[in-house]
Amino acid sequence: MKTLLKIFEWATLRIERGAKEKNHPLYKPYSNAIIAREPTSLEQEIKEIRRSGSNRDFDSASEFEMSDIFYFARRGVESIMDDEVTKRFSAEELESWNLLTRSNYNFHYISLRLTVLWGLGLLIRYGFLLPLRVTLAFTGVGLLVFLTSVIGLLPNGRMKNFLSEKVHLMCYRICVRALTAIITYHDSENKPKNGGICVANHTSPIDVIILASDGCYAMVGQIHGGLMGVIQRSMVKACPHIWFERSEVKDRHLVAKRLSDHVEDKSKLPILIFPEGTCINNTSVMMFKKGSFEIGATVYPVAIKYDPRFGDAFWNSSKFGMVNYLLRMMSSWAIVCSVWYLPPMSREEGEDAVQFANRVKAAIARQGGLVDLLWDGGLKRGKVKDTFKEEQQKLYSKMRTGSEIHLCTSD
Amino acid sequence: MGSRASTLLREEEIEEIKKETGFSHSQITRLYSRFTSLDKGENGTLSREDFQRIPELAINPLGDRIINAFFPEGEDQVNFRGFMRTLAHFRPIEDNEKNKNYSGDFIAFRLYDLDRDDKISRDELLQVLRMMVGVNISDEQLGSIADRTIQEADTNGDNSISFNEFIKVLEKVDVEQKMSIRFLH
């Protein structure tokens, strides 16, 4: 592992040196933010603009000036050049090259040694690692389906639960080997217990496999057709998962009811939920949907952080389909990640679901070293709601209250 | 797709853009990467929808006007050159290049002057005001704000604000400081 890292660093150094020799300006994405942005408030900025020009004594923030427009214009253009949200939906950029063309933005022919090394890496990955992993994957999935169906035939009871646990763990561990995922679990004493809800940040479907190979969870999700559907149906036979029909998903009350029923039954396994609702690229945590936090059960937060140097686990679903994604995963060097089990949290007095969700989100972000964003992951596909714009407008018009002008609508 | 970024932008193009706008080499490549990541249709140009997909821009009350500033008269697509030219207005001007073309004043004027007749009429001023305050202030109050502003600025009595009058009003404000964006090299 460490040798691989050293090789990567050497490779990058070679590229840099080679570029300097040939006077090719190097494209270094990681270390170059384009602009420095300061999060100043609307009021502060406009007051500053006014103050720099006006020599009036009294507080002139109450009247409109033509220069007010500058604040909005500048923020607008800054966000065109670099914004916090859209870059979360594409893969993270790396500092040193890890010998995979897919993460290289700078591929010039630099030196023979480098190309040879790259070619060697290619050979190892596609010729040796990939077939090995694919066979393991097939074995794992096949075993899962077969064994869970067998167990489903047994009568309900302790034996069944025990066996199903063993089977699930074993199959997931095979799948983990299939991806060569090197996982470090931290703080296992905080592992989720029965009757609780486990929430985690979402980067890819592999998250499920990673968590499930260390403990048993009840999964929540839509019933798919095809291979996924077969797997889902057989899993349900061995131990209770919560699968929804596509039509049921829209009905929030139904969803909440089923979840709380499951949670109240203390013999059932903890539920695994990803409240972001979509895959984010593992540099940040986006808004948590409040549904799972309304139920009132104990929440066990889990932070998952991938190390992108060995293989980027982010699934960009608009770019790659599932099969394509899995192939890319299996032909990377490895998937390295850390899983932190955080101490359980419950909703406090006087806290509503949204505040609770934000508190959990902040804890996960802090532990995983991710940026904590308030934006909704749904922005990947949808437009932002107009209410946010109206908030900005309200803020600005509040400033306009001078002695002569009164707001006609109260907020 | 990352590998396309540096191959599609040729060295000569970078040099030309450098001369025209004054951005440095690394800034141009960085902005090109940004341009391509916004270009979902992957056809080398940006449309208005591409801009509106940026959430922070979509909630900016003047978002639509700012987007308009990028598109030349009557066109719906902007290519990388046009993109850079507009962004150059926000670059802080160095002391040794008092290039009158890249001044924040003009962009600000453009944001008000929608029909591009080089005058800000009372209607245009009202429109911008309405965009900034939303529904929170009544028409009459907004009207009186607009009237007062024009009164203060209008020196030749034509009830609208020309570019020169606009500049005079802003003389007191240090435009370059407030309009320019801090770029990192």
Q: Residue window 13-32, chain A: list those with CB within 8 Å of chain B.
A: 25, 27-29, 32
Q: Residue A11 falls within a domain, yes or no?
A: no
Q: What angle do CA A317, A319, A320 make, to 5 degrees?
A: 70
Question: What does the pLDDT average to over B57-75?
Answer: 82
pLDDT of residue A208: 81
Type and span of the H or E element at A335? strand A335-341
Query: Is residue B36 over pLDDT 70?
Result: yes
Question: A331-370, pLDDT tens digit by residue?
Answer: 777 777 888 888 888 888 877 888 888 888 888 888 888 8
- In the chain, the amino acid numbered B119 is K
CATH number of the domain where residue B71 is located = 1.10.238.10
- Using alpha carbons, select from A86, A98, A92, A93 the residue that is nearest to residue A122: A98
Q: Residue A290 falls within a domain, yes or no?
A: yes
ipTM above 0.85 for this complex: no
User: What is the number of H-type helices and E-type strands within chain A?
Assistant: 12, 9
Size of interface A-B (CB pairs under 8 A): 206
Residue with the two structure tokens 């005079």: B168
For B93, the token pair is 């001007």
Return d(Cα A77, Cα B63) in angstroms, integer: 9
- Contact at 8 Å (CB) between B46 and B109? no
- In the chain, the amino acid numbered A303 is A
Contact call for B184 and A409, based on CB within 8 A: no
Q: Any CB–CB contact under 8 A between A107 and chain B? A: yes
- Burial (0-12, 13-18, 19+ Cβ within 10 Å), B130: middle
| Residues B122 and B159 placed together within one structural domain of the fold | yes
| Residues B76 and B29 placed together within one structural domain of the fold | yes
What range defines the domain where residue B120 resides? 103-172
- Burial (0-12, 13-18, 19+ Cβ within 10 Å), A171: buried
For A155, the token pair is 């009568």
pLDDT of residue A396: 72
| Residues B165 and B139 placed together within one structural domain of the fold | yes
Question: A61-112, pLDDT tens digit by residue?
Answer: 445 666 677 777 777 888 887 777 777 777 666 555 555 555 554 444 555 6
> Given strand A181-186, what is the order of strands in its sheet?
A181-186, A335-341, A299-307, A197-200, A271-273, A218-222, A242-244
| Residues B82 and B115 placed together within one structural domain of the fold | no
Type and span of the H or E element at A386? helix A386-399
Q: Residue A84 falls within a domain, yes or no?
A: no
User: How many independent structural domains does chain A possess?
Assistant: 1
Return d(Cα B9, Cα A77) in angstroms, integer: 23
Residues of A with Cβ-Cβ distance to B131 under 8 angstroms = 393
Q: Which of A58-62, A304-308, B79-83, B142-146 has the lowest mean pLDDT?
A: A58-62
Mean pLDDT score of chain B, rounded to an integer? 77
User: How many independent structural domains does chain B possess?
Assistant: 2
Q: Residue B181 falls within a domain, yes or no?
A: no
**Residue A220 β-bridge partners:** A242
Q: Residue A323 falls within a domain, yes or no?
A: yes
Return d(Cα B106, Cα A248) in angstroms, integer: 55
Q: Any CB–CB contact under 8 A between B84 and chain A? A: no
What range defines the domain where residue A205 resides? 112-380
Q: Residue window 344-403, chain A: list those with CB within 8 Å of chain B.
A: 375, 379, 383-384, 388-394, 396-398, 400
pLDDT of residue B2: 39
- In the chain, the amino acid numbered A397 is S
> pLDDT higher for B152 or A34?
B152
Return d(Cα A233, Cα A224) in angstroms, integer: 10
Q: Where is the domain boundary, B47, B67, B89?
A: B89
Contact call for B56 and A82, based on CB within 8 A: no
| Residues B84 and B16 placed together within one structural domain of the fold | yes
SS3 A111: coil
- Burial (0-12, 13-18, 19+ Cβ within 10 Å), A388: middle
Q: Residue B96 falls within a domain, yes or no?
A: no
Q: Where is the domain boundary, B56, B89, B122?
A: B89
Q: Residue B19 falls within a domain, yes or no?
A: yes
| Residues B82 and B114 placed together within one structural domain of the fold | no
Q: Residue A20 falls within a domain, yes or no?
A: no
- Helix A226-238 and helix A130-152, axial crossing angle in degrees, nearest 10: 50
Q: Residue B32 falls within a domain, yes or no?
A: yes
Residues of A with Cβ-Cβ distance to B166 under 8 angstroms = 66
Q: Residue B95 falls within a domain, yes or no?
A: no
> pLDDT higher for A3 or B110?
B110
Q: Residue A14 falls within a domain, yes or no?
A: no
Indicate the DSSP class of residue A60: G
| Residues B81 and B112 placed together within one structural domain of the fold | no
| Residues B47 and B72 placed together within one structural domain of the fold | yes
Residue with the two structure tokens 């040879």: A116
Q: Residue A37 falls within a domain, yes or no?
A: no
> pLDDT higher for B34 or A231?
B34
In B, minimum Cα distance to A54 occurs at B172
Q: Residue B49 falls within a domain, yes or no?
A: yes
Give the residue ranges of chain A where pLDDT is below 70. 1-67, 91-115, 117-118, 224-227, 246-250, 310-311, 317-318, 398-411
| Residues B127 and B71 placed together within one structural domain of the fold | no
Provide DSSP, A124-188: IIIIIIHHHHHHHHHHHHHHHHHHHHHHHTSPSSHHHHHHHHHHHHHHHHHHHHHHTEEEEEE-G
Q: What angle do CA A199, A204, A208 make, to 5 degrees?
A: 50
